[in-house]
Amino acid sequence: MGSNNSDTPVLQVFTRYVDWAIEEQIRIHTGNGATAGHTPDQVVISIAENPCPTSAITMANWLKQYGVLQGDVLRDNTQKIVSTVLNFFEKERIEFSSDIDLWAPQIVGEFRELNSQIRASDTKRIQNRSFLSLTSKALWCKYPAQTPIYDKNARIALYALVRLDHDSTPYNPNRDDARRPKGLGANVGEGDVADYEVYVRNYLEIYRQIFEAISDRLKNKNYEYPIRVFDKILWTYGSDSRDILHRKEVYKSWSPKRNT
């Protein structure tokens, strides 16, 4: 695919959503115009840079905003989970290459470590749950310029874009979910890692095509995280009612019942 072709599916979606996505992410980052009690993204980035026990309540509130500490079991274990995340923030940061194509192994390696630590932070009551979304969001706080945040709507949009970009693709969220390991502890954790690795590699494949275009639009905006703009574009495209029929047709062509 030529990234200079304005008629490509990726750039069509980019053009439709990018200006709104930038303004929305700046609002989320700064907290301007947010409802009472909202924790801005810039606050948790600062916490990840200088973690301390007194940051636990703020960190927990931010994770709850994104819906990754839901259910009685997770609410009961919030303190331990957040403590684990803060301890991970104290770990020495890795250095990323300027080449986006080289990011995936580093991101997945850090994801694997954090996911394993979260899973080990409490009893078997939570070990059979997926921490894929929670881990990716916590990891983003530490590496806000490189980490793709996992989201179901974004996953749907990404699948559609990758398929349209190549006219065929092995990436299929429905099929991949059906093959997740069953059981407790490490097996479910490996399922998180496997799903996230596929997600990251496809995410970065599309992201590198529009990274410069997003970065150009962010000039003089006082916002330095184009990857979060791409997150917002994916989330919006994936949840936009105007695209529901199209996304259903994309899913049908790769349904595990129809393709073996």
Q: Please state, in angstroms and rounded to a whole number, the distance separating the CA atoms of residues 26 and 21.
A: 9
Of residues 7 and 238, the one with the higher pLDDT is 238
63 pLDDT more than 80 = yes
Residue 3 included in any domain? no
> How many domains are contained in the chain?
1
How much is the average pLDDT of 105-122?
Answer: 92
Residue 34 included in any domain? yes
Residue 183 included in any domain? yes
The pLDDT value recorded for residue 178 is: 41
**Cα→Cα distances 231→146, 149, 235, Å:** 11, 7, 6
Report pLDDT digits (tens) over 146-167.
Answer: 999 998 888 888 888 877 766 5
Q: Please state, in angstroms and rounded to a whole number, the distance separating the CA atoms of residues 121 and 163.
A: 38
The pLDDT value recorded for residue 121 is: 77
The pLDDT value recorded for residue 6 is: 55
Residues spanned by the domain of 82: 9-253
What percent of the chain clears pLDDT 90, i.e. is strictly above it? 52
Per-chain mean pLDDT for the chain: 81
- Name every residue whose Cβ is closer than 8 Å to that of residue 66 and which is 6 or more positions away in sequence: 133, 137
Residue 91 included in any domain? yes
Residue 16 included in any domain? yes
Q: Please state, in angstroms and rounded to a whole number, the distance separating the CA atoms of residues 8 and 91.
A: 41
CB contact at 8 A, 22 and 221? yes
Q: Please state, in angstroms and rounded to a whole number, the distance separating the CA atoms of residues 82 and 149.
A: 18
Residue 40 included in any domain? yes
Residue 130 included in any domain? yes
pTM above 0.75, yes or no: yes
Tokens of 182: 């069953």
The pLDDT value recorded for residue 184 is: 42
Q: Please give the radius of gyration of the chain, using alpha carbons only, rounded to the nearest integer.
A: 18
Report pLDDT digits (tens) over 14-44.
Answer: 888 999 999 999 999 999 876 767 899 999 9
Report pLDDT digits (tens) over 208-247.
Answer: 999 999 999 999 999 999 999 999 999 998 887 445 445 4
Residue 29 included in any domain? yes
User: Which of 231, 243, 217 minimizes the C-alpha distance to 29?
Assistant: 231
The pLDDT value recorded for residue 218 is: 96
